[in-house]
Structures are given as structure tokens and as C-alpha cells.
Amino acid sequence: MASAASRQPLTINELLIVIVISLASFMIGLDATIVNIALPTIAASFGVSAVTASWVLNAFFIVMVSLLLAASRIGDIKGYRNLFLAGFLIFMAGSAASGIAPDYSILILARIFQAVGAAVISAVGAVMVTSYLPSSVRGQALGIVAMFLMLGIALGPVTGGVLAGSFSWRYIFFVNVPIGIVAVLLGARVLPRLEPVSPQATLDIPGVALFLVALAFLIFGLTSFEKNNPLTGGATLVVSFIFWIAFWIRECRTPEPLINLSLFKNRAYSSQNICLMIVQMVMSGVMVIMPFYLEIIRGVTPDNAGLVLLSLPAGMILTSPISGKVSDVIGTKRPIIAGFGICLAAMLLLSTISADTGIGWIGMLLFLLGAGSGIAFSPLTSAIMGEASLKDRGATSGLMRVMSNLGSTLGVASVMCVAALVAGPKIAQVAAHLIPLEELVPAFDMAFLFCMLLEVAGIALMLTVKARSMVTAMERTTAA
């Protein structure tokens, strides 16, 4: 009976709700990658250095991730529908302000404002799926949302290159406005008006501030290590660690914390959150190191390298919705382990590439990695939400976004550090093409082996998780 119910398709209204939430994911994914390719143009336009221009990304990331948990809590207090629509309006306003910014400081302020909207629409998206849709279609709905996210990530570099090259870098921000208008108009029509989950709750503002400072120092420290400045990086990470401890103490003592730390007593909840972070670490690590291989070792042009890298998100786009639907029927554990197993095989094969490996073969391996990531990703998000009680779903949705974004940051930093240990810090420098190829290839192989070990860790963690069907998990959390 449950199996038959779990196979039911989305109704028209349910599909429209998923589309609205998916447009938010698409915009977040697009914005995550569309800006990168225009940074040199932005730097030249305002006469700032490349390092200074990078804060167009850093400022956005720090603010967005720091406010994810706060946005989730506000959604619990005020309701998700109106907050979600307001987040879209803020994001559109920030995008438009970024596009017309007359100087660099105004651009940074506009990006910070844009990040506030991004935090809102990103944080409450997953919890809206679980709140507005029945458990029998939750997996496929989350799969569609993940597909749109990866579609935005995949189209970002291509779209940004075309807009910045043919028109102006300002259009990479303007492109968000029409998408946002469609989402707001459609959302105002189809999103249900539900009572807030916790209308009497309060927001832990000191906790938000501690999280923001801790994350800012973490990113600055990791950036210092990438620039081969270990003294500054180490000292900054120590400061970051102190603030993380302060944040943890605050969360333990405040009556209404941003994160319900008791949730982490649930081994399945903790393990699956770590697995979500591992998925992002591997994908981000490969996406940052592979262009070095393609352009330095193989001599591929940047535009063609971008096309090769599209194989990874393409694999995820194709498998995410299918995996989500399958997990509605058979449960989440088996698809997650299967996805990690496919990723492990892809990373093992990538660790054997040489200076003569065919580009087509590399593209196939990247597609395989993306496919495995997609197979694991949708069931993971569904399983994590299924472990949370109704009152904790908002915080869990925000926490998943935090874990995902932290995974991206840690993946880039750790993979580059592994490669630098083997080939030296020059691998991250413009002059890296001066290093003999025989010295560089082992660096890539070791970086991919490191990613393979992360996949092994993911499988090991999932083996400790008790299998549970989606319907049973939802019944349990609803009862709670």
C-alpha cells in the first residue's frame, strides 16, 4: 500500500510549488558560478586587484552562509511563504543594485544585500518541500530542486562568459531579475498559507553574530593557506576555532539555539549531514583542481575546459530526480551507498590519469562522478529531513545548506593543499606551467586519491545508519 502511494506523480499544483522552489535553487546555483568568470573584468572596470575583486565572492558567501540558520528560524517564527517571497524580492533588489553599482564599495554592499535574500530563499526551500508536499512525493520533489540547482551551477560559467564578453559584466547580475519576477508572481499564487511552526520562538542574535565572525575568520584563514601564507593562516584559524567554541557554548546555554545540538545525538542525523558535506567537498575539489590539469597538462583552452567540466553537473542533473523518486520507494540508504560507490570508482580511475589520458575518457569519468553524486544527494537531503521532528525542520533545512557550503569551501582548500604538498605551492600560481609535467601529474593523482578516501569515509558512515523507508520516517517525524 505504501509502495503504491509512493509511486504517485506530482499533481499540477504540487509541481508548480516545486517549480517555484526550484527557481530559487536555480538562481542560487547560477549566482554561485556566474560571477567567477567575470571577476577579471570587474577588477579592470573598478581598477582593483584580483585579490580585492575576489571579495565580490567572499563577502556574498560569508553573509549568506552565516544567515542560513537565522533565516530558517525566522521562517519557523513568521511562516515560510511570505519570508520566501520577501527573500526573492531582496535578492532581485540586490542583483539590480550590483548591476548598476557606480564603484567597488557599492558593489560589495549590494552583494551583501543580495546575500541576505539568497540566505532566505536557500534556507527555507527544503523545509517548504517537506511542509507543503506529502511524504510520498518528497524524494522526487527534492530531486527536481537539486536538478535545478546543478543546472544553475552548470550554466553559470557559460552564461557569464557570454554576457560579460558580448555585453557587460553588469548583465550577470541583471539576469536574476526576470527569473525572480516569474518566481514571485507564481509563488504568490500557488504557495499555501500555513500557520508558523513556532510563532512564540525567538531568534538567537548573539549566536548569529558568533557564527558570522567564526566563519569569516575560517574563510580568511583558508585563503591565506592557499596563498602559501601558513603563519597568518594558522593564526586566523586558531581565532576561528575560538569563536566556534564560543558559538557552541552559546548554543548549549541559550534556551532557543539556532541549532538544536541534541539532534546530533542521533547518529543517523549526524552521519548523513557529514555525508552531505563529503559530497560537496569532492565535487568542489574536483571542479577546482581539474581545470589545472586540463589547461596546464593537456593544453586545453579555458572555454573548452569549461565544456569538459560540464560533464560533472550534467551527470548529477540526470540522476538526481530519478534517485529521489527511487528513494521514495525503496528508502534512502541503498541509493546513498550506491552513489558513494559510483563516486569512489570514478575517483579511483581519475587518480590514474596521466599526461596522455584522452579528454573524452576524462569527460566520462567526470560524468560518472556527477551521476554518483546525484544518486546520493537527493536521498541524503530527504533522509536528513526525515530524521528531524516537525519543529526542527526549519533549522535542519538551514543546517543542510550550511554543511553543503562548508563542504564546498573545505573541498577547495583541502584538495589544493594536498596537491601543493606533492608538487609545491606553484601549482596554484600562474607560473605553474613552468613546472615539469612529471612533477605535476602525481599531484593531481594524489588529490584525486584524497577525494577517493573521502568517498570511502562516506560509505563507512552510511553503513552505520539504520535503513528506514521514507514513509516510515515521515510518520515518525510527524508524530514527534
Residues 47 and 168 in one domain: yes
Shared domain for 92 and 213, answered yes or no, is: no
- Between 355 and 282, the more confident residue is 282
Q: Which domain holds residue 32?
A: 1-192
Please indicate, yes or no, whether residues 247 and 286 belong to a single structural domain of this protein. Answer: no
Q: Among the three residues 255, 274, 297, which one is the final residue of a domain in this structure? A: 255
Query: Which of 391, 378, 472 lies closest to 126, judged by CA?
Result: 378
Which of 192, 218, 242 represents a domain boundary (last residue)? Answer: 192
* Dist. CA 436–CA 224, nearest whole Å: 26
User: Do both 54 and 152 map to the same domain?
Assistant: yes
Do 255 and 206 contact (CB within 8 A), yes or no? no
3-state secondary structure string, 228-267? CCHHHHHHHHHHHHHHHHHHHHHHHHCCCCCCCHHHHHCH
Lowest-confidence region among 109-113, 205-209, 381-385: 381-385
How many domains would you assign to the chain? 3
Instruction: Kindly state the average pLDDT of the residues 199-222.
Output: 83
Domain-embedded: residue 198? no
- Is the C-alpha dihedral spanning 390, 392, 395, 398 positive or negative? negative
Distance (Å, rounded) from C-alpha 312 to C-alpha 291?
Answer: 13
Same-domain check for residues 251 and 272: no
Instruction: Give the position of cell 591565506.
Output: 224
Give me the residue label for grid cell 569515509.
457
**How is 149-209 classified by DSSP, letter by letter?**
HHHHHHHHHHHHHHHHHHT-TTHHHHTHHHHHHHHHHHHHHHS-----S-TT----HHHHH
Residues 313 and 405 in one domain: yes
Same domain, 78 and 153: yes
Percent of the chain with pLDDT over 90: 20
Q: Are residues 153 and 236 in the same domain?
A: no
Nearest to 62, CA basis, from 340, 314, 405, 295: 405
Q: Looking at the structure, tell me whether residues 479 and 453 fall in a common domain.
A: yes
Residue 2 pLDDT: 42
Last residue of a domain, one of 145, 160, 192: 192
- Quick: pLDDT tens for 305-328: 667 877 888 888 888 878 877 877
Judge if 303 and 421 occupy the same domain: yes
Give domain status of residue 260, yes or no: no
pLDDT bracket for residue 188 (50, 70, 90): confident
Q: Using one digit for the tens of pLDDT, what is the confidence trace for 458-479?
A: 999 999 887 664 444 444 444 4
In which residue are the cell numbers 544553475 written? 152
Cα 107 to Cα 20: distance, rounded to the nearest angstrom:
28
pLDDT in tens, 387-443: 777 667 766 766 777 788 778 767 776 777 777 677 665 554 444 445 566 667 888
